[in-house]
């Protein structure tokens, strides 16, 4: 766990999503300034470092900035402002919200600002775009750099005009003072100014925000509604060829024999073999697919692989106790004694299936080699991580690898790895020409990765006053994070058990929190029902955190808790916190045969000070819709090394007809720093629906929510 010094927010990052990228020290000396100026033209360049990192201040470019530079801002000779960040735009709309931060500090409208994102040759190192970190950590970095740039422009103008600096002000992108007015471009013209954000400098107070805090449209929205934006699969390079990788029919298999004679006989086709890797390259996509399908490969698949039915036993059976990722339990008080002394005890075991991200843009890459250096365009959340993967795969220095991430057709935690980039680069190297590789939808399902499946056992004890005194929570495989309970319970034992996962698994929107919140909130609901007490009152009785209490109360009020809108309908509710933000979701259901229909969803959300209210509402709505999939029908089915529903037609994702009215209540806490919002709203959808469904019958302990 790390503590972010600027946001006071604890962030847990799933251990398996960090592949230990080598420590990277970004050093910028005068030559680098000159190189960057060479690329950008003259003007003013300001570097920002993560708080706590060693920094040097200065304004003339004489010093060496050698620290964890995290972002920089450039003001060119025409007064146009460009921010540089390693974050990626994957639909969460940070291109807009980060632009707001820069524009705000430099007192310009957002059309005066552009962002260069996720091009490893142009931007500072960044660990990746995950964990809802862009808003709490990257936005303040860019804001500090922009604020420092503003101050340097003031200094410069005062010197040029030989006036007191205090007589000058910044307005609409100009420096103005008695008898003087000049645009930023005029002040930086013909100059090459560089500097770092002074230690201790902070961006504007939230109360002084002008551009942040106001609704802003997606900055380049027109490029998307016209189809002009080029995602990775849309990129072409001169002389580019098309690649296809030879793969097994199932999700698993090691290559046995391979007969590529027919493919080799095809004019224009290159067959690439390297160890267990096999692929083909051809001048057209059509020919590449024809050649690939002509390859006869035998794959060895081990016997007795778990299925989606047996996986839960498998996860428990293969668990490692102690050591490894499992580690020791978190213990408080004496849970056994508390259980023994309890007036009531409750035990339950829940099962969480694997689910798929299904980003609409498939994993893809375009790779091009030139003089030993490879450039790869690819949709990934970790451009620098993929750069390392490429450098390792080809045994070349990272300076010989450039990764460029075009704004990407979504990821949801599913694009942390770069195997498709490595595959495209391997094919391009063999072919001696640029190669495009676009995974098919079937490849996406079989060879991407899933949200982990898991088993979660919960055992509790409640005293005669209806207060929970004991909380035991054992989680097999569904991720170690988000495992602690926000409820005030004196005796606890909470443990993550690492298991062997038969399917490839990794990060997902909200990480492990979707599973944990489902179980925790369904169990809270079960206890409240058994005790015959109100589910909201029962939670409030165990909640000290004022922010959590506020979102829960807001959602309950909005949906009309505890009364449904008509007698045959029923309500359910759940609350949670993750990544420094807070959510409560309430559902109203009606019975529909042996199942139920969702009539209405209410979600209240609080993530500190709101940067872009409309963008935030959009993210909250989107999270709720994605949460509906896992709550209602998403689950990967598999047996004998094959996926049984690994296609778009078979794997059901939410569509128009599945969407009930969704009402979003945003709580704006201008007294608190902004936290990220792309993930947390997803976590309470399933338990809100599940707890409402309990009014119609017994709800299965396995997701998706269904009546048994």
* Residues near another protein (CB under 8 A): 90-93, 217-218, 221-231, 233-234, 236, 284-286, 358-362, 407-410, 412, 438, 440-441, 614-615, 618-619, 621-626, 647-649, 653-657, 659, 661-662
Instruction: For residue 402, report the phi and psi dihedrals to the nearest 5 degrees.
Output: -125, 125
CB of 655 to another protein, least distance (A): 5
Quote the CA–CA distance of 557 and 552 in Å, as a whole number.
Answer: 9
CB of 269 to another protein, least distance (A): 16
Q: Which is nearer to another protein, 80 or 218 (CB)?
A: 218
Q: Would you call 66 exposed, middle or buried from its count of C-beta atoms within 10 A (0-12, 13-18, 19+)?
A: middle
Segments in 77-218 forming alpha helices (H): 94-105, 139-161, 184-188
Instruction: For residue 637, report the phi and psi dihedrals to the nearest 5 degrees.
Output: -105, 135
Whether the CB-CB separation of 86 and 123 falls below 8 Å is answered with yes
Segments in 498-636 forming alpha helices (H): 513-531, 535-541, 546-559, 613-632
SS3 percent helix, strand, coil of the chain, rounded to 5, is: 30, 25, 45
CB of 623 to another protein, least distance (A): 7
CA 367 to chain centre: 25
CB of 382 to another protein, least distance (A): 17
Quote the CA–CA distance of 550 and 672 in Å, as a whole number.
Answer: 14
CB of 504 to another protein, least distance (A): 20
CB of 650 to another protein, least distance (A): 9
CA 183 to chain centre: 38
Q: Which is nearer to another protein, 97 or 495 (CB)?
A: 97
Owner of token pair 């600027």: 6
Quote the CA–CA distance of 697 and 383 in Å, as a whole number.
Answer: 48
Q: Which is nearer to another protein, 527 or 616 (CB)?
A: 616
> What single string gives the DSSP state of each residue in 42-92?
SEEEEEEE-TTS----BSSS-S-EES-EEEEEEE-TTS-EEEEES---SSS
Q: Which is nearer to another protein, 284 or 321 (CB)?
A: 284
CB of 356 to another protein, least distance (A): 10
Segments in 272-379 forming alpha helices (H): 285-294, 311-317, 335-341
Per-residue CA distances from 439 to 249, 258, 502, 665 (Å): 14, 21, 22, 39
Q: Which is nearer to another protein, 13 or 620 (CB)?
A: 620
CB of 224 to another protein, least distance (A): 3
Eight-state DSSP code of residue 179: T
3-state SS, residue 420? helix
Owner of token pair 């978190």: 330
* Residue 425: closest CA among 382, 365, 363: 365
Kindly state the helix (H) or strand (E) to which residue 12 belongs, with its residue range: none
Quote the CA–CA distance of 595 and 510 in Å, as a whole number.
Answer: 27
Q: Which is nearer to another protein, 12 or 89 (CB)?
A: 89
Q: Which is nearer to another protein, 52 or 661 (CB)?
A: 661
Q: Which is nearer to another protein, 310 or 440 (CB)?
A: 440
CB of 242 to another protein, least distance (A): 8
Quote the CA–CA distance of 103 and 99 in Å, as a whole number.
Answer: 6
Q: Which residues contact 690 (CB under 8 A, 6 or more apart)?
A: 518, 522, 525, 572, 631, 699, 705
CB of 664 to another protein, least distance (A): 10
Q: Which is nearer to another protein, 338 or 624 (CB)?
A: 624
Q: Which is nearer to another protein, 11 or 438 (CB)?
A: 438
* Residue 83: closest CA among 65, 96, 93: 96
Whether the CB-CB separation of 437 and 245 falls below 8 Å is answered with yes
Owner of token pair 């096999």: 278
Quote the CA–CA distance of 555 and 588 in Å, as a whole number.
Answer: 12
Instruction: For residue 338, report the phi and psi dihedrals to the nearest 5 degrees.
Output: -65, -40
CB of 410 to another protein, least distance (A): 4
Quote the CA–CA distance of 572 and 576 in Å, as a whole number.
Answer: 14
CB of 111 to another protein, least distance (A): 12
* Residue 683: closest CA among 606, 628, 634: 628
Q: Which is nearer to another protein, 74 or 218 (CB)?
A: 218
Quote the CA–CA distance of 395 and 386 in Å, as a whole number.
Answer: 14
Q: Which is nearer to another protein, 445 or 596 (CB)?
A: 445
- Radius of gyration (Cα) for the chain, nearest Å? 27
CB of 196 to another protein, least distance (A): 34
Quote the CA–CA distance of 45 and 33 in Å, as a whole number.
Answer: 8
Q: Which is nearer to another protein, 1 or 649 (CB)?
A: 649
CB of 403 to another protein, least distance (A): 19
CB of 666 to another protein, least distance (A): 15
The token pair at 634 is: 């998403």
Q: Which is nearer to another protein, 297 or 662 (CB)?
A: 662
Quote the CA–CA distance of 520 and 475 in Å, as a whole number.
Answer: 11
Q: Which is nearer to another protein, 219 or 574 (CB)?
A: 219
CB of 605 to another protein, least distance (A): 15
Q: Which is nearer to another protein, 395 or 657 (CB)?
A: 657
């Amino acid at each position: 766990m790390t503590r972010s010094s600027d946001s006071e927010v604890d962030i847990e990052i799933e251990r398996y999503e960090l592949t230990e990228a080598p420590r990277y020290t970004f050093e910028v000396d005068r030559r680098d300034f000159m190189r960057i100026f060479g690329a950008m033209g003259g003007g003013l360049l300001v570097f920002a470092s993560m708080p706590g990192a060693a920094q040097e201040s200065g304004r003339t470019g004489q010093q060496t900035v050698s620290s964890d530079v995290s972002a920089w801002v450039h003001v060119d000779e025409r007064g146009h402002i460009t921010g540089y960040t390693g974050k990626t735009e994957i639909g969460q709309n940070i291109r807009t919200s980060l632009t707001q931060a820069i524009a705000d500090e430099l007192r310009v409208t957002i059309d005066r600002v552009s962002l260069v994102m996720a091009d490893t040759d142009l931007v500072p190192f960044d660990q990746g775009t995950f964990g809802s970190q862009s808003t709490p950590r990257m936005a303040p970095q860019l804001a500090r750099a922009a604020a420092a740039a503003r101050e340097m422009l003031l200094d410069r103008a005062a010197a040029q005009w030989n006036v007191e600096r205090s007589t000058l002000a910044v307005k609409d992108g100009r420096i103005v003072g008695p008898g003087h007015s000049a645009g930023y471009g005029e002040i930086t013209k013909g100059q090459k100014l560089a500097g770092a954000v002074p230690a201790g400098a902070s961006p504007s107070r939230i109360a002084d925000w002008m551009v942040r805090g106001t609704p802003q449209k997606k900055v380049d929205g027109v490029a998307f509604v016209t189809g002009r934006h080029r995602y990775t699969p849309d990129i072409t390079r001169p002389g580019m060829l098309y690649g296809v990788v030879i793969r097994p029919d199932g999700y698993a298999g090691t290559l046995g024999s391979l007969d590529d004679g027919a493919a080799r006989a095809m004019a224009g086709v290159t067959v690439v073999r390297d160890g267990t890797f096999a692929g083909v390259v051809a001048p057209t996509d059509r020919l590449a697919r024809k050649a690939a399908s002509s390859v006869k490969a035998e794959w060895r698949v081990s016997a007795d692989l778990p299925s989606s039915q047996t996986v839960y036993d498998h996860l428990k059976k293969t668990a490692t106790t102690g050591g490894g990722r499992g580690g020791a339990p978190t213990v408080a008080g004496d849970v056994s004694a508390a259980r023994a002394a309890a007036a009531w005890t409750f035990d339950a075991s829940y099962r969480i299936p694997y689910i798929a991200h299904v980003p609409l843009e498939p994993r893809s890459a375009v790779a091009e080699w030139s003089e030993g250096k490879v450039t790869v365009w690819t949709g990934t959340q970790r451009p620098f991580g993929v750069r390392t993967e490429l450098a390792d795969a080809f045994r070349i220095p990272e300076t010989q690898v450039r990764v460029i991430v075009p704004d990407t057709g979504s990821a949801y935690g599913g694009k942390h790895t770069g195997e498709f980039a490595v595959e495209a680069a391997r094919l391009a190297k063999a072919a001696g020409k640029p190669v495009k590789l676009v995974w098919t939808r079937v490849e996406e399902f079989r060879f991407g990765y899933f949200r982990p499946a898991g088993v979660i056992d919960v055992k509790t004890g409640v005293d005669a006053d209806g207060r929970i005194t004991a909380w035991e929570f054992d989680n097999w495989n569904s991720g170690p994070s988000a495992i602690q309970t926000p409820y005030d319970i004196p005796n606890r034992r909470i443990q993550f058990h690492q298991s062997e996962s038969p399917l490839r698994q990794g990060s997902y929107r909200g990480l492990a929190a979707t599973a944990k919140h489902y179980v925790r909130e369904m169990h809270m609901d079960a206890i409240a029902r058994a005790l015959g007490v109100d589910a909201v009152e029962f939670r409030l009785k165990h909640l000290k955190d004022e922010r959590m209490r506020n979102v829960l109360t807001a959602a309950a009020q909005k949906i009309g808790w505890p009364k449904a809108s008509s007698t045959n309908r029923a309500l359910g509710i759940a609350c949670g916190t993750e990544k420094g933000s807070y959510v409560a979701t309430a559902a109203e259901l009606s019975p529909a045969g042996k199942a139920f229909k969702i009539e209405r969803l209410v979600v209240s959300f609080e993530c500190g000070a709101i940067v872009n209210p409309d963008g935030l509402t959009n993210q909250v709505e989107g999270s709720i819709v994605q949460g509906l999939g896992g709550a209602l029908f998403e689950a990967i089915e598999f047996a004998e090394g094959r996926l049984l529903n690994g296609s778009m037609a078979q794997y059901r994702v939410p569509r128009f007809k599945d969407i009930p009215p969704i009402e979003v209540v945003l709580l704006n806490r201008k007294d608190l720093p902004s936290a990220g919002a792309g993930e947390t709203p997803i976590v309470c959808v399933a338990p809100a629906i599940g707890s409402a469904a309990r009014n119609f019958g017994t709800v299965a302990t396995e997701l998706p929510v269904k009546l048994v």
